[in-house]
């Protein structure tokens, strides 16, 4: 009755939203800048992508504008936290409010039910015939799902195996040492916060241009930005683990629904059938998970142990603290 | 460093103020501002005219959004001031848009009226502040359009005896200035069920899906109405159900619809707000039935949409409030009120492609039933007339009897003084999921 292939394929499709947002946040945090405004940037991406696609008729233009919108908003955070060295947590929270408010303004009057062409879906020949993995990853997925699949190894390679990636890590771990080496700490932090914003905008546009065309107010993103932030800590700042986590979360959301149609599991009454209160408990778990990992991420000692960038959340002042 | 800290304080204050004020401040559209007019639904919904006329600019209404902070619209002195509180955006192409258009209708048809709305207001404590502020501003007639506004409205109604409060989809009234109001959408879900049954049978896959929101009496009633309609055209059909536990989440609604289609459903109904079922149906080569507003039924894979036309009913009540003849109570109207429609089958509408090519005998049966519904000869008590057998095989009601109103909208045992005998906590035969025992 429950088809694992279908659940995983759906998980990969909806997990792509979390994947873009989490990988973007990893770039920013590896450079030492915590940006809690992911939800706000995603909302801007979602509304900008849909409204531009609706007015131009071209979802690709919408996609580009969505990324620029998310990027623009992230620069606000960059200026406040890098240039003015303000508290990154507070600025990030403010960014969420700002993004939510702006998205509502921009979305006012956008009919959510407007028929807009979504980005293409297609099956990748040859790859789709790989047993099990083929139908999960390569059958009738949106083009953005494939972009996500390509992004993850590229992000890993960039961060862990290239010279610019080494600089990125240096800026996030030992900005003082990086500065002494002649690496532009401020310049790189600006750049990677921007990358995070571009990808958060892309994550928002994934919802409105690839998954469910339309603008439905704040509920369009519905807290997924926070889940992405939790995923970053859970993934210990690794893009590959973040992608696996994102797909897993997507699959769990779908599994919760599929479980509702199953009367018994191994002869025992299924406690997660349609209408049973235990389904509410299952739906709560991802948010509980976010609370737990954010607590871990906010405790200095625990954070060290899970491998957070050493300078995460600390503004860089040349010559101070000897970082 | 000190210098930077003071800079920081200033900047953060600015960011927070801008963030908090952006939503309500910038969207306050003065009356008559054409930009506040919603997009004309006619551009996406083929040949519909029954639901909405393009709004007169004056009747776009001043609108604000709820949120962390919000701005309450103003009244116009000397006019009959009507305010509406919406759970979603006023242009959501669904539930909230249907109500918003009803508000415009009031403005256009009730003399000397001034209308305003607040959208995206969360249910519960936040909404209580909104209702209180509206009453304090001096609105004469305040409409709340979501289940969770019920208790806040009941509280505020006691504080402001001069204002009249109308609540939709709940079950409370104070008999003075707080009234209850809803309509028998089950009539139209039943008709849509007949259509879906016919479609599933013609396609040779007698399976229906129903994506419900929450396990509450309204959603169970509508699900049973669908199933009873399906049985009229497809006795062998079965129906699978998912609860998504939200009214409004595009990603989740998509997953829920896909879950039902992947489990084998040929036609999937939604009880939620977005057209996700029709979009997923397009990808799967199946059929979806959307809800609330005709614009939601904009793709060929959409069979039909049972929808609301609130205007005339709102105008009727507004007139009675204005004339001080309104009696607050429990008002539940049937489809002969003309406040509902079945997209594709009302005057001036063309059936969707998936409905047009169904067997002529089935279509005739649907049109005949629709005519009886509109004439008031077939209502909710006929949808729920015996014999009613639940999906465990138990006969709940013998032939010749009908459910009572108290049975339609309550879980057992029902409210004190309005106890129900059968109640609405059962699934009709043909539904393949079970309801858990009530604790």
Residues in chain B with CB shorter than 8 Å from the CB of A276 are 436
B302 and B215 within one domain: yes
Q: Is the pLDDT of residue A137 over 50?
A: yes
B63 and B178 within one domain: yes
CATH number of domain containing B355: 3.40.50.2300
B323 in Cβ contact with B172 (< 8 Å): no
Three-class SS state of A316: coil
Residue partners of B267: CB distance under 8 A and separation at least 6: B196, B199, B200, B208, B209, B286, B287, B288, B289, B303
Residues in chain B with CB shorter than 8 Å from the CB of A275 are 215, 241, 243, 433, 435-436
Work out the minimum CA distance from A321 to partner chain B, whole angstroms.
Answer: 13
B201 and B97 within one domain: no
For residues A105 and B244, give the distance between their C-alpha atoms in angstroms, rounded to a whole number: 28
For residues A216 and B274, give the distance between their C-alpha atoms in angstroms, rounded to a whole number: 8
Q: Residue B208: phi, psi to the nearest 5?
A: -115, 150
B276 and B175 within one domain: no
pLDDT of residue B200: 97
The residue among A18, A112, A284 with the most chain B CBs within 10 A of its CB, best to mutate, is A112
For residues B218 and B256, give the distance between their C-alpha atoms in angstroms, rounded to a whole number: 19
Task: Select the more confidently predicted residue: B401 or A322.
Answer: B401
What stretches of B184-238 show up as alpha helix (H) in DSSP? 185-202, 217-233
Question: A114 pLDDT band (50/70/90 cuts)?
Answer: low
Q: What is the mean pLDDT of chain A?
A: 91
- Asked if residue B424 belongs to a domain, the reply is no
For residues B414 and B325, give the distance between their C-alpha atoms in angstroms, rounded to a whole number: 30
B18 in Cβ contact with A98 (< 8 Å): yes
- Asked if residue B399 belongs to a domain, the reply is yes
B67 in Cβ contact with A104 (< 8 Å): yes
- Look at residues B374, B410, B420, B382 and name the one whose alpha carbon lies nearest to residue B221: B410
For residues A8 and A136, give the distance between their C-alpha atoms in angstroms, rounded to a whole number: 6
B319 and B392 within one domain: no
B174 in Cβ contact with B214 (< 8 Å): no
B251 and B230 within one domain: yes
What stretches of A79-162 show up as alpha helix (H) in DSSP? 88-107, 133-137, 143-161
Residue partners of B17: CB distance under 8 A and separation at least 6: none
B130 and B89 within one domain: yes
- Asked if residue B439 belongs to a domain, the reply is no
B140 in Cβ contact with B321 (< 8 Å): yes
- Asked if residue B78 belongs to a domain, the reply is yes
Model pLDDT for residues A257-278, shown as the tens digit of each residue: 999 988 888 888 888 888 888 8
Q: Does domain A4-306 have CATH number 1.10.3470?
A: yes
B318 and B175 within one domain: yes
Residue A82 tokens, joined: 């890098």
**Residue in A with minimal Cα distance to B275:** A113
**Rounded average pLDDT over A222-249:** 94
The residue among A219, A262, A316 with the most chain B CBs within 10 A of its CB, best to mutate, is A219
- Asked if residue B130 belongs to a domain, the reply is yes
Model pLDDT for residues A21-36, shown as the tens digit of each residue: 999 999 999 999 999 9
Question: B266: which DSSP letter?
Answer: S
Residues in chain B with CB shorter than 8 Å from the CB of A274 are 212, 215, 241-243, 433
B91 and B50 within one domain: yes
**Residue in B with minimal Cα distance to A121:** B283
The answer to whether A98 contacts B245, with C-beta atoms less than 8 Å apart, is: no
For residues B119 and B214, give the distance between their C-alpha atoms in angstroms, rounded to a whole number: 22
pLDDT of residue A16: 97
Placement of tokens 């904009």 in the chain: B298
**Residue in B with minimal Cα distance to A15:** B251
For residues B283 and A31, give the distance between their C-alpha atoms in angstroms, rounded to a whole number: 41
The answer to whether B11 contacts A113, with C-beta atoms less than 8 Å apart, is: no
Q: Which residues pair with A194 in a beta bridge?
A: none
**Residue in B with minimal Cα distance to A216:** B92
pLDDT of residue B60: 73
The answer to whether B36 contacts A109, with C-beta atoms less than 8 Å apart, is: yes
**Residue in B with minimal Cα distance to A224:** B251
The answer to whether B263 contacts A279, with C-beta atoms less than 8 Å apart, is: no
Model pLDDT for residues A30-81, shown as the tens digit of each residue: 999 999 999 999 999 999 999 999 889 899 999 999 999 999 999 999 999 9
Work out the minimum CA distance from B245 to partner chain A, whole angstroms.
Answer: 8
Three-class SS state of A266: coil
- The β-bridge relationship of strands B287-289 and B302-304 is parallel
Residues in chain A with CB shorter than 8 Å from the CB of B240 are 261
Query: What is the full per-residue pLDDT of chain B (439 aa) written as tens digits?
Result: 444 444 444 444 444 444 443 333 333 333 333 333 333 333 333 333 333 333 344 677 777 765 545 678 888 889 999 999 998 888 888 899 999 999 999 999 999 999 999 988 888 888 999 999 999 999 999 999 998 899 999 999 999 999 999 999 888 889 899 999 999 999 999 999 999 999 999 999 999 999 999 888 899 999 999 999 999 999 999 999 999 988 888 899 999 999 999 999 999 999 988 888 999 999 999 999 999 999 889 899 999 999 999 999 999 999 999 999 998 888 888 878 889 999 999 999 999 999 999 999 999 999 999 999 999 999 999 999 989 999 999 999 999 999 998 899 888 888 888 889 999 999 999 999 988 888 6
For residues A154 and A26, give the distance between their C-alpha atoms in angstroms, rounded to a whole number: 13
pLDDT of residue A108: 78
Minimum-distance CB partner of A97 among B20, B215, B243: B20
Neighbours of A141 (CB within 10 A): 22
Query: Can you give the length of chain B in residues?
Result: 439
Placement of tokens 């955070």 in the chain: A77
Residue B27 tokens, joined: 């969207």
Q: Please spell the DSSP secondary structure of B62-118, one letter per residue.
A: EEEE-SSS--PPPP-TTSEEEEEE-SS-TTSSSHHHHHHHHHHHHHHHSTTEEEEEE
For residues A233 and B387, give the distance between their C-alpha atoms in angstroms, rounded to a whole number: 58
The answer to whether B436 contacts A113, with C-beta atoms less than 8 Å apart, is: no
Work out the minimum CA distance from B399 to partner chain A, whole angstroms.
Answer: 28
Residues in chain A with CB shorter than 8 Å from the CB of B276 are 212
Supply the pTM of this predicted model.
Answer: 0.85
Work out the minimum CA distance from A274 to partner chain B, whole angstroms.
Answer: 6
Q: Return the CA Rg of chain A.
A: 20
B158 and B70 within one domain: yes
Q: Residue B342: phi, psi to the nearest 5?
A: -120, 105
A156 in Cβ contact with A27 (< 8 Å): no
Number of compact structural domains in chain B:
2
A20 in Cβ contact with A198 (< 8 Å): no
Please give the interface size between A and B, counted as residue pairs whose CB atoms are below 8 Å apart: 202
The answer to whether B259 contacts A257, with C-beta atoms less than 8 Å apart, is: yes
The residue among B48, B258, B305, B426 with the most chain A CBs within 10 A of its CB, best to mutate, is B258
The answer to whether A97 contacts B68, with C-beta atoms less than 8 Å apart, is: yes
Minimum-distance CB partner of A111 among B88, B93, B258: B93
Task: Select the more confidently predicted residue: A318 or A1.
Answer: A318
B334 and B359 within one domain: no
For residues A13 and B262, give the distance between their C-alpha atoms in angstroms, rounded to a whole number: 15
Work out the minimum CA distance from B241 to partner chain A, whole angstroms.
Answer: 7
Model pLDDT for residues A90-109, shown as the tens digit of each residue: 999 999 999 999 998 888 77
Q: Residue B245: phi, psi to the nearest 5?
A: 55, 40
Minimum-distance CB partner of B298 among A3, A115, A216: A115
The answer to whether A214 contacts B93, with C-beta atoms less than 8 Å apart, is: yes
B157 and B142 within one domain: yes
Percent of chain A with pLDDT over 90: 70
Minimum-distance CB partner of B91 among A105, A112, A212: A112
Work out the minimum CA distance from A115 to partner chain B, whole angstroms.
Answer: 7
Q: Is the pLDDT of residue A242 over 50?
A: yes
Question: A117 pLDDT band (50/70/90 cuts)?
Answer: confident
For residues A200 and A209, give the distance between their C-alpha atoms in angstroms, rounded to a whole number: 14
- Look at residues B271, B293, B267 and name the one whose alpha carbon lies nearest to residue B221: B271
Q: Which domain holds residue B193?
A: 186-308+350-419
Work out the minimum CA distance from B145 to partner chain A, whole angstroms.
Answer: 17
End-to-end CA distance of chain B: 61
């Amino acid at each position: 009755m429950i088809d694992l292939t279908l659940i995983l394929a759906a998980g990969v499709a909806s997990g792509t939203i979390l994947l873009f947002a989490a990988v973007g946040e990893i770039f920013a945090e590896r450079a030492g800048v915590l940006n809690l405004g992911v939800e706000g940037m995603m909302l801007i991406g979602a509304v900008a992508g849909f409204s531009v696609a609706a007015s131009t008729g071209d979802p690709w233009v919408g996609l580009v504008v969505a990324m620029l919108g998310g990027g623009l908003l992230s620069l606000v955070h960059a200026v406040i936290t890098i240039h003015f060295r303000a508290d990154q947590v507070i600025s990030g929270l403010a960014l969420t409010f700002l993004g939510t408010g702006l998205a509502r303004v921009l979305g006012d009057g956008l009919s959510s039910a407007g028929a807009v062409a979504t980005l293409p879906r297609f099956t990748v020949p040859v790859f789709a015939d790989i047993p099990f993995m083929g139908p999960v990853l390569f059958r009738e997925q949106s083009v953005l799902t494939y972009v996500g699949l390509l992004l993850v190894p590229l992000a890993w390679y960039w961060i862990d195996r290239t010279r610019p990636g080494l600089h990125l890590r240096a800026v996030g771990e030992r900005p003082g040492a990086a500065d002494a080496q002649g690496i532009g700490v401020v310049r790189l932090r600006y750049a990677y916060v921007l990358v995070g914003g571009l990808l958060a905008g892309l994550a928002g546009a994934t919802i409105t241009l690839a998954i469910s065309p339309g603008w439905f107010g704040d509920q369009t993103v519905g807290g997924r930005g926070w889940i992405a932030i939790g995923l970053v800590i859970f993934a210990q700042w690794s893009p590959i683990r973040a992608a696996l986590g994102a797909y897993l979360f997507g699959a769990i959301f779908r599994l919760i629904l599929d479980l509702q149609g199953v009367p018994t599991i191994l002869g025992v009454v299924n406690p997660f059938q349609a209408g049973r209160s235990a389904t509410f408990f299952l739906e709560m778990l991802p948010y509980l998970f976010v609370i737990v990992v954010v607590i871990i991420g906010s405790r200095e000692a625990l954070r060290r142990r899970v491998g957070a960038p050493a300078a995460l959340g600390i503004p860089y002042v040349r010559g101070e603290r000897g970082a | 460093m000190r210098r930077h800290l003071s800079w920081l304080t200033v900047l953060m204050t600015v960011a927070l103020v801008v963030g908090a004020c952006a939503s309500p401040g910038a969207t306050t559209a003065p009356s008559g501002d054409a930009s506040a007019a919603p997009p004309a639904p006619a551009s996406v919904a083929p040949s519909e005219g029954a639901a909405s006329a393009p709004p007169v600019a004056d009747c776009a209404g001043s609108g604000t959004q709820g949120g962390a902070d919000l701005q309450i619209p103003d009244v116009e002195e000397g006019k009959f001031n009507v305010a509406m509180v919406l759970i979603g955006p006023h242009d959501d192409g669904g539930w909230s848009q249907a109500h918003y258009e009803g508000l415009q209708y009031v403005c256009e048809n009730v003399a000397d009226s001034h209308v305003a709305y607040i959208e995206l207001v969360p249910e519960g404590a936040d909404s209580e502040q909104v209702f209180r502020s509206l009453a304090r501003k001096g609105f004469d007639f305040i409409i709340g359009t979501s289940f969770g506004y019920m208790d806040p409205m009941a509280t505020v109604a006691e504080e402001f005896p001069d204002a009249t409060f109308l609540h939709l989809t709940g079950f409370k009234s104070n008999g003075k200035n707080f009234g209850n109001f809803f309509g028998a959408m089950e009539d139209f879900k039943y008709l849509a069920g007949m259509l879906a049954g016919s479609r599933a049978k013609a396609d040779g896959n007698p399976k229906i899906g129903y994506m419900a929101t929450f396990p509450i009496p309204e959603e169970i009633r509508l699900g049973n109405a669908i199933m009873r309609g399906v049985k009229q055209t497809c006795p062998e059909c079965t129906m699978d159900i998912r609860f998504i536990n939200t009214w409004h989440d595009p990603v989740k609604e998509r997953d829920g619809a896909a879950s039902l289609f992947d489990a084998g459903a040929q036609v999937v109904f939604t009880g939620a707000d977005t057209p996700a079922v029709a979009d997923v149906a397009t990808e799967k080569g199946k059929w979806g039935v959307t809800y609330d507003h005709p614009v939601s039924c904009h793709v060929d894979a959409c069979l039909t949409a049972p929808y609301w036309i609130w205007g005339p009913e709102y105008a009727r009540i507004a007139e009675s409030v204005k004339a001080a003849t309104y009696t607050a109570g429990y008002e539940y109207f049937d489809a002969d009120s003309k406040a509902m429609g079945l997209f594709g089958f009302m005057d001036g509408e063309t059936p969707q492609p998936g409905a047009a090519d169904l067997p002529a005998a089935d279509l005739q049966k649907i049109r005949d039933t629709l005519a009886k519904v509109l004439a008031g000869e077939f209502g909710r008590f006929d949808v729920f007339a015996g014999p009613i057998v639940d999906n465990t095989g138990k006969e709940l009601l013998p032939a010749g009897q009908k459910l009572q109103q108290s049975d339609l909208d309550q879980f057992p045992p029902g409210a004190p003084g309005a106890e129900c005998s059968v109640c609405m906590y059962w699934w009709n035969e043909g539904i393949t999921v079970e309801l858990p025992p009530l604790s």
